[in-house]
Structures are given as structure tokens and as C-alpha cells.
């Protein structure tokens, strides 16, 4: 049961860490896109800290001889995960860029109108939809081969960004899996 819970929790966490920034960047206006994705990352770090302290509290309030300790820790994950799951099904629309890629311009317009809370004929809506259509058209014409995409990873500017991202990810993950950390927390 614990392995199934960890698998489902890990699958959900992994999906959220990939899909939410992508969805957010597709929905947000270009001038605040970076800010919003950065705020999402800060929120994720705050959530990680809250998860640590929740586990710390569970460790000190529930006896480790009962199975309630690990069940509570895993069950706490269900609250934000469940809310996000329900919101993704019942509240959040497909992105306008998705509709443009699927050749559904009316759906894209409808979603943009709902997101921006502006009328259909507003110049901001028309311009944003036009820019999306141009970008999607360019992507369809200039679809790069997989070999070209791999080479682009190692271009001078991209190589540095890739290295920084990989090193940061490794450092972040290594800080959570060191056996000495888990044993020192358990001994508190």
C-alpha cells in the first residue's frame, strides 16, 4: 500500500512539475509570463518546505509503531493534489495555443475572452490570437528534426543554460535523498 501511494504521489508530483509551468506559460500574457512561472517555482519551494514540516510534525505526534504515521504523511498529499486534479477537470480550460494547434480558432477565441475578461473584438484579444496563429504556423513550417533539436541543446548560450539547469536539479534532488539527512530527522 505504501509503495502504491508513493508511486501515485510521485507520478502526480512529477506531472505537476512538468505540466503546470507549461500550462501557465501558454495562458499568461507575454509581458508577465516569466514572473508568473517564477512565482510558481517559489510556491513549489514553499510547498516543499511545508511538506517537510508536516512530516516533521507527524514524526513527533504519531507513534512510529502505528501505520498511521506514514498513512498521514501520504494522505496529506491528497489534499492539494486532489484539488488540482478536480480543478484541471472542471475549471481549467484547454489553452488557446492548444486550440490554435488543433485548428479550432473559435475555441481559442472563446478561451482567450474568458481568460482576459475582454470582449471578442478587443484589439488585445485580436492581436494575441494573431500572434499565436503566426507562431503556430511558423512551428508547422519549420518543424526541426530530432538531430537538429539535439544539436541546439549544445549551442553556446543553450549549453550554459542546460548545464545550470541540470546542476541545480541535481543539487536540489541530492539534498533530499542523502541518508544522513533522513536519519538525522528521525533522531530529532
Q: List the domain boundaries for the chain.
A: 1-92, 93-153
Supply the pLDDT for residue 106: 93
Which whole-number Å values give the CA distances from 162 to 15, 157, 159, in the listed order?
21, 9, 5
Whole-structure pTM value? 0.62
Q: pLDDT of the chain along its 188 residues, tens only? A: 667 766 776 777 777 777 888 888 888 888 898 899 889 889 888 888 888 888 888 888 888 787 888 788 778 877 877 787 888 888 888 889 999 999 998 999 999 999 899 999 999 999 999 999 998 888 777 766 777 778 888 888 888 888 888 888 888 777 765 444 444 444 44
CA pair distance 72, 77, nearest whole angstrom: 9
The answer to whether residues 59 and 131 touch, using CB atoms and an 8 Å cutoff, is no
CA pair distance 75, 2, nearest whole angstrom: 11
Amino acid at each position: 500500500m505504501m509503495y502504491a501511494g508513493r508511486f501515485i504521489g510521485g507520478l502526480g508530483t512529477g506531472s505537476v512539475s512538468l505540466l503546470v509551468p507549461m500550462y501557465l506559460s501558454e495562458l499568461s500574457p507575454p509581458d508577465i509570463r516569466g514572473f508568473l512561472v517564477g512565482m510558481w517555482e517559489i510556491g513549489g519551494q514553499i510547498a516543499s518546505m511545508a511538506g517537510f514540516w508536516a512530516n516533521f510534525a507527524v514524526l513527533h505526534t504519531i507513534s512510529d509503531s502505528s501505520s498511521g504515521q506514514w498513512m498521514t504523511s501520504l494522505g496529506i498529499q491528497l489534499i492539494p493534489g486532489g484539488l488540482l486534479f478536480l480543478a484541471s477537470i472542471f475549471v481549467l480550460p484547454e489553452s488557446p495555443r492548444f486550440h490554435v494547434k488543433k485548428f479550432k480558432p473559435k475555441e481559442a477565441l472563446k478561451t482567450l475572452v474568458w481568460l482576459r475578461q475582454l470582449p471578442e473584438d478587443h484589439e488585445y484579444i485580436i492581436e494575441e490570437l494573431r500572434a499565436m496563429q503566426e507562431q503556430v504556423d511558423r512551428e508547422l513550417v519549420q518543424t526541426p528534426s530530432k538531430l537538429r533539436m539535439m544539436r541546439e541543446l549544445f549551442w553556446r548560450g543553450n549549453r550554459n543554460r542546460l548545464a545550470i539547469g541540470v546542476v541545480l536539479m541535481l543539487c536540489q534532488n541530492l539534498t533530499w535523498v542523502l541518508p544522513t539527512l533522513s536519519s538525522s530527522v528521525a533522531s530529532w
